[in-house]
Amino acid sequence: MLITRAVILFMSDTIAAVATPPAKSAIGIIRISGDNAFEITKKVFSGDISEPRKMVTGKMLSEIGEVCDYGMGVFFKAPASFTGEDSAELYCHGSTAVLRTVLSSLFHAGARPAAAGEFTRRAFLNGKMDLTQAEAVIDLIDSETELAAKNAAEQMNGRLGCEISAISASLTSIAAEFYAFVDYPDDEIEQTERDELAAKLYACADSAKALAGTYSSGRIFREGIRVALIGRPNVGKSSLLNALLGTERSIVTDIEGTTRDTVEESLRAGNVALHLIDTAGLRNADTEPERLGIKRSEAAARDADIVVAVFDGSSPLDEYDMQTLDLAKGARSLCVINKNDLGTVIDRSVFGDLPVIEISAKLNTGTRAVVDKICEIFNVSDIPCDGRTLTNPRHASTLNRAEERIRAAADAFGGGIYADLAVSDIEAAINILSEITGNSAQDTIINEIFSRFCVGK
Ligand code: GDP
């Protein structure tokens, strides 16, 4: 079923929820939204909230009218509120007991518990924001680095919606030019006219592709970089991991095969998270657990964004080092020659074009360069965080679908096919793009998006 956003406000029941985390804190905030927000809040809060957007002090009352806290309250008159409805916020002391009491008092007065994301869902349905902005709210809450937060804030401000709308607007105006041709007999359309319109369509397809392409960087904002440390046993993978983390998370021993399973740890490198996966050493495994461990490390290398292949520089490369090198050559990778405190006997030419760094994990020298190199390989400092970097796989895949249809229209029309066939592809692309902003999105998509929110948001 298709949900079309109602820009006209509709009658809505009144919902309430605690908007702050369920933990002891200085302040706890309760949100109320819906047609009866004012009356319901008045029954629970003694302050005079009749003037919208004015914070006032007052008593919080339990459902039997007892004072349970002194705090502040504010009322927002529709449509000038987050949800677009009459809304109120109560600022209590952050005791979970107080918040529970005030909340049940609000329920007693006629509100009902808000579902996860229901405030933002109402904001979306009331036309206060498009779907990209609603999704940016979750991204902002989830963001763990300043760049991710900045990008999400810009998207919340509508930046991404604008980019999508710009492509849609171009397609709409191209479609209008096509309509002029629909009534022409097909052979009367000049090839130069066909080429001109096709070129305009290709430009739109390129814009969609470029925007979708930002997701590979945006995913790094959102999820960080997965780094698999691979190499034969005893080259110093665990020591490198520990040196990077400054802890003793991975067991370091000189008995081969101690890291049987994979160990995952995260560290922050400036504005991105690095998820380091220490894998079992590559070698012929004698025991079943080791064989499993090695399978897992091969899988980790496959799933990682980058492979860090570690070698013991103090001894000549053996067949397992060569296997490591093969894995590294088949992936985005960085080679690390470890144990340079013992001197290096490896001939660097075996690494070919792969980036190589020499370190001593034991002395913790050169290890920072490993992190810096990874960030450099992913161009972390150049990722734009102005809201035009996609962080959401839904946006990227939808844009790819739109691009396909636009290109199909361009190929077909440029190649002499009927104008009305090309128009149907353009219209399909416009529809697909509107799934991103939510102007026409399946309710399953919308439900899925809002189910990822927390209660109170
Ligand atoms: P892994 O099996 O690849 O994880 O290797 P470990 O990190 O467990 O290290 C194996 C052995 O090499 C341990 O005895 C470490 O102390 C030693 N080792 C690791 N890195 C260095 C290094 O940079 N220099 C020296 N001299 N020894 C190291």
pTM of the model as a whole:
0.72
Per-residue model confidence (pLDDT) at position 2? 46
Atom of ligand 1 nearest to the CA of 239: 7
Segment 152-162, tens digit of pLDDT:
999 999 999 99
Distance 241 CA to ligand 1 centre (A): 11
How large is the C-alpha radius of gyration of the chain? 29
Per-residue model confidence (pLDDT) at position 7? 42
Pocket test residue of 252, 260, 283, 321 for ligand 1, highest count of atoms within 8 A of CB: 252
CA pair distance 236, 360, nearest whole angstrom: 9
Which long-range contacts link 364-371 to residues 24+ away (Cβ below 8 Å)?
A: 364/243, 365/340, 365/341, 366/340, 367/240, 367/243, 367/244, 370/240, 370/244, 370/308, 370/334, 370/336, 371/244, 371/267, 371/269, 371/274
Per-residue model confidence (pLDDT) at position 290? 57
Per-residue model confidence (pLDDT) at position 148? 84
Atom of ligand 1 nearest to the CA of 363: 23
**312 with 234: CB under 8 angstroms?**
yes
What totals of helices (H) and strands (E) does the chain contain, helices first? 15, 14
The residue among 402, 5, 393 whose CA lies nearest residue 165 is 402
Q: How far apart are the first and last CA of the chain?
A: 25
The residue among 195, 170, 54, 30 whose CA lies nearest residue 113 is 30
CA pair distance 278, 237, nearest whole angstrom: 7
CA pair distance 102, 94, nearest whole angstrom: 11
b vs e for 353-379, b when ≥16 Cβ sit within 10 Å of the residue's Cβ? ebebbbbbbbeeebbeebbebbbeebe
- DSSP label of 45: B
CA distances from 419 to 52, 181, 196, 279, 407 (A): 55, 6, 13, 57, 14
CA pair distance 364, 159, nearest whole angstrom: 43
Any residues with CB less than 8 A from the CB of 266 and at least 6 apart, and which?
A: 224, 273, 274, 275, 276
- Residue of the nearest CA to atom 2 in ligand 1? 234
Pocket test residue of 234, 315, 341 for ligand 1, highest count of atoms within 8 A of CB: 234
Distance 267 CA to ligand 1 centre (A): 21
Per-residue model confidence (pLDDT) at position 289? 55
pLDDT < 70: residue spans in the chain? 1-11, 182-189, 247-262, 280-297, 419, 440-442
Per-residue model confidence (pLDDT) at position 450? 82
